[in-house]
Structure 1
């Protein structure tokens, strides 16, 4: 199955703040706890445009330490024999891959995973009440844009 991926992070090349996957099989929305985020020197734009909307209508994250993101992704994908994750920005894929590494030389067990980077514009979206720069809403907007580009809607 296809899953649209979006991540929010602390500026260009910065640490991961939240991660979301949205697809036909469901959604996963993860966010780091305040205790971890408080330890970051946050970019002012991120403080204003990302942290303020981590939890909004129809987007309530599962709050986990960053070290647990990989296990949550593993559980989310475990019933899909061939998941394909699509992103519109390379750094999103980088953050996803980093989450799957749990220690030196070890990664979570996931099915055969395909990754795809696509040049598709998720915004503006026609999804009512969508919230840009919230990882789950951005993943939903990307999923919608992908469906429109394939003529599925």
Structure 2
């Protein structure tokens, strides 16, 4: 099955803040807890445009420490024998891959996973109430742009 991925992170090359997968089999939306976010030297733009949008009525996250993101992704993908993850930005794929690594030389067990990088604009989106810079809404908008 197909899943569209979006991540929010603390500026270019910065730490992961949130990760979302939106696909045919459902959605996963993970956000780091407030104490982890507070420990970051947050970029002004991120503080203004991303952090206020982490939790919205139509995008309620599962709040987990970053070290538990990999297990949550593992559980989400467990029933799909061959998931394909689509992203529109390379750094999103990088963050996903980093979440799967749980210790030196160890990764969570995931099905045979395919990755696709597409160059498409998810915004402006025709999705009513879409909120740019919220990982779940951005994953939904990408899904709409790619799959219609």
Q: Same fold (TM over 0.5)?
A: yes
Distance 1:31 1:75 in 2: 16
Distance 1:112 1:124 in 2: 33
**Mapped pair 1:84 → 2:81:** no
Q: Which runs of 4+ in 1 moved over 2 A?
A: none
Structure 2 match to 1:27: 27
Number of equivalences: 148
How far 1:98 moved relative to its partner? 0.2
RMSD: 0.4
Distance 1:68 1:11 in 2: 22
Alignment of 1:75-114 (within 5 A): 75-114=75-114
**Mapped pair 1:16 → 2:16:** yes
Q: Could you tell me which runs of 5 or more consecutive residues in structure 2 were left unpaired when the two chains were aligned.
A: none
Distance 1:147 1:24 in 2: 10
Deviations 1:101-138 (A, max 9, x none): 00000000000000000001100000000100000000
Distance 2:59 2:110 in 1: 25
Structure 2 match to 1:36: 36
TM-score, structure 1 as length reference = 0.96
Distance 1:40 1:121 in 2: 29
How far 1:57 moved relative to its partner? 2.2
Q: Could you tell me which runs of 5 or more consecutive residues in structure 1 were left unpaired when the two chains were aligned.
A: 149-153
Distance 2:109 2:37 in 1: 27
Structure 2 match to 1:116: 116
Distance 1:32 1:105 in 2: 24
TM-score, structure 2 as length reference = 0.99
Structure 1 match to 2:45: 45
Structure 2 match to 1:151: none
Distance 1:147 1:29 in 2: 20
Distance 1:11 1:18 in 2: 13
